Structure 1
């Protein structure tokens, strides 16, 4: 029976001690937050130099600040901001602290936060003193007085029964707080209890004592973070009668606490997981090219802020893409309108046809053929707005171009075509071959050299089409020349980029050349798209 009583009392004090410690931590955080406020520290330094207006502004700031920060401290009785010279610069309460108490306890707190108990307005209070520091120097103090109920509320966690007592004492056995408002000399008057509590350093933290002829179990426990102790006196009769009930209560409390923790953990996990997974999923879709997705997160936490910024960024990206597309369309239309404004296509074709027939009448067949080819090239350039044409049409453009160039260069070169006819209806970018052939003619052909050829091959290569333009002309150092990025006035990168923009990064051009041996340009495009 004695062991049951002791275990009961020790468990009870352990739970109460933890609850008191939580309240202590909460109060300390509030006090430390005040002491670390830069506005408070600056005003403490300058307080004795401040005029009435500045002091009123400081009071207004403190009232506004404390009304927000200390609203969760219903048991707060007094807050005082004290200068280093022990002058009260701010007070909220009833001016409980005396000058001598302020000086005494301020000095005690110089090594850190200090707790003490006192009687204010005939009621027990728990007080905290926290030094205010700036650059590791003390510039003032924060005094907070809290009604004893803030700790005494922990006593109500258990029904200690009739005749039981719970109290908090300091290291000198002075009663700070008690369940039933015990006289501060109560311990001194009870010989057994006084003797037991004087030996608080011993391993024996529980003992049977006799008070007024009745058997009690007396236990004590050091409060974490304090130089204080919580002690209890519990009648044997109550412990034996209530031990079974206690076990049930503790089991129920434990289960309820576990349930609350699980529910809280679930909601906490869900509040993080759901929006985070949603955000990651939308980011993945964006990385795959879908720029139309929106997170639409309604949460107001950090993930919600990130989601809102992500949505804003996507909206801006889409706006820029649409703006770029519109600008490209407008630019193309403008170029066409400018070209059409400069010269009437029909007038140009009619003029070329007239010149062609004039050349035929004069039996100048070379000029006639050149004018006919030029007319076709201009028709495909001005009238046909399609970016993609068939390989058959592109070859016709090249043949017309070659006819015109042969008029200029004579028969100093010849062009051969080796084309897989099954590929003629596949699509290719219009005029993608012309700048490469032009480059071979202008920079590759040596007019003093005979039997110069340009060979255009178009063949199938698995799922792709391989086009090669090869000449046996002058050639060049490909590493140095490619750096110049020029192909007959049109950037080689421009040709390569047009292919990549149209068909994808897996397609494009490659140049191989060797001095005095010739040049070959290879183009890889997909089959019909």
Structure 2
């Protein structure tokens, strides 16, 4: 096992395995856990911000009821039954010296007050305070001395307000009332309007502080964190401790400057998520506080357990994989390498056993097939060598003595001239020239002028065959006739035009052979005004080598195209432009070569 682990393949594979499986998994775990925590924090942030808003709305609606009730009491001084209203009755109670009358007025006032506050049990009492510090108390005795309350900031602010206004005083600590001594109350204050009020200085409404708990008792708050309510002057309405640590935390935060929002507080080991919302009609702040540690504790536990599980699974997978890779990968590869070395040494009998149908079985099968193909290729090479040798022998056996053939043709030409048969003489001389160039075993190239001369001889012979049914015009400038081209390059193209271009026996076919130079290229065009060809036939001429060769030396247009490509490469070759009923133009593109240049590929 240790030896296998030291092999290059296994060490590289283990490195790749650790790099692309466990490492990405742990990085992904860290990234995803961070994302989950971010999503959890964002979700709780949005949720608790909505909850603080709902609490603020509940407090606002509850306070609105109390403010409306306080305003109703404050303005209860006119009507059809003027004597039954509260403010006039309070004034009469204050100036009356008759105890019986005061008792009757008290009963009347209490009934009227019960009418206004029959919807709530959160009222501690209502206190009508007179300038002489006397007061009328509804339900309880006054919690604070009248003079003490006049010294508070809210009193001066109340006096500056419009008569009849109701002000939310906030939290006040009770100092007089024996029932609530030491406790606090949520206070409202009102300044009765002048008509109907002669003696009342201000009205103080005291509410139980725990009524704020009802604003969020029935709401599904998070099981972690807490909710606090603060007044605009930074007093806690939900905590009895005056040195509330939350006030220190919120001191330099945007809570007191903005109506709502969320922020992350981190200082002195405290890591908190704080959401806040403002109660519109009181200016109070509803603040929700959640510790990041409590918020992410469950996620951190899951991440820890997941890390341990991932590590255990990775180690188990690695152990199983190394064992499996050794038996299913390394051993077959080593066998394959061993047999390949035997083949390199010339032993073509080396084969591999094929077991199963997995990838290595296919690889072993491919190796065996490769060895068999190598054997077959070696046999084919030997056969080709033998066949080539036989062909050379046969070529020597069937070779015609060119001197005998040329002498015979010369004799025919002399006899034709002697008897005045000049047509036969010209045909014989043209045929002799064609055969002379065909049997020339020298260079594979000739000049363009020589190629044109051969075409003229060929045209002369074909004119006798087709009885002047075509005419060939040569347009080759003298200055480019010295260019060097491949031998017998144009004859197959001209022959194709003569034989196949026209199907009208009564119409003379016109053929033009033109050539011109473009920079370092030579372009030769053979065009006719025959019947043309459809596009499918044009494609077949260049794409398919299987043609019916009717040319003089059995070389078709495809062979011309292949000779140009094999000799000069791309983009040289044959291009055919034809339109049915409008003739055909065959263009040969090849490099312009001077007679002194060497043709390396010829």
TM-score (norm. length: structure 1)? 0.37
More strand by share: 1
TM-score (norm. length: structure 2)? 0.33
